[in-house]
Amino acid sequence: MIEQNQKKLIKWLSGVVIAAAVLSVLIFTGVLNPAKIKKLFMIEPDSHLMTNRNAYDIALLEAQKWQPDAKLAFMDSGSISERGRSNTWKAIFISSKVKAKGFSIEIEDYKIILLAEIIYNGVGADFPTNIISSEDAIKMVRATKGYEDAEIYGAEVIYMGNLWYWGVKTSKGVVSVKGK
């Protein structure tokens, strides 16, 4: 019995030594540098917030309960982080079955907090998977001359003229960005 415990201890210590050696090699060879290590363990402060895709995925299920052919017409972030994330998203869906009406869904912290059919006039479409993210839209706004330092208030995505547009609301007005 004692021998077995000793063997376990030896195995365990051996594992620790091997792991330490591997880690040392990775660090000394530069495979892992402080920046990478930091990145590995760093959690973005807004990681708990929802991307518009997160919210859309949640909202779409509810919208399709409203009307199976529900199409997204509009999404709004409310306040938004620089990475395009928000704790609250509002989405409006439309349906060819219901004229002049929309279905408004508000999602907060991954939970639906409001469902309502509203009066709404607008067009909608399937929200493409390859549309740029709100984070990309914000980055593009940042790259626009004069808006490098603008305060970002929020973002909305709207279907207009057969294209999706992001509208990034800033302290200097709304900057639109084509969705794809």
Binding site for other proteins (CB under 8 A): 74, 76, 92, 102, 104, 118-121, 140, 144-147, 156, 158, 160-161, 163, 165-167, 169-178
Q: Which is nearer to other proteins, 64 or 176 (CB)?
A: 176
**Residue 173: CB minimum distance to other proteins, A:** 3
Question: Do residues 118 and 100 make contact, with C-beta atoms less than 8 angstroms apart?
Answer: no
**Residue 160: CB minimum distance to other proteins, A:** 4
Q: Which is nearer to other proteins, 2 or 119 (CB)?
A: 119
DSSP state of 174: E
In a 13 Å sphere around the CA of 36, the CA atoms on its Cβ side amount to 7
Q: Which is nearer to other proteins, 36 or 172 (CB)?
A: 172
**3-state DSSP call for residue 50?**
strand
**Residue 176: CB minimum distance to other proteins, A:** 4
**Residue 114: CB minimum distance to other proteins, A:** 13
Question: Do residues 99 and 135 make contact, with C-beta atoms less than 8 angstroms apart?
Answer: no
Distance CA 85, CA 48 (A): 9
Q: Which is nearer to other proteins, 26 or 150 (CB)?
A: 150
Q: Which of 99, 179, 162, 149 is nearest to 170 (CA)?
A: 149
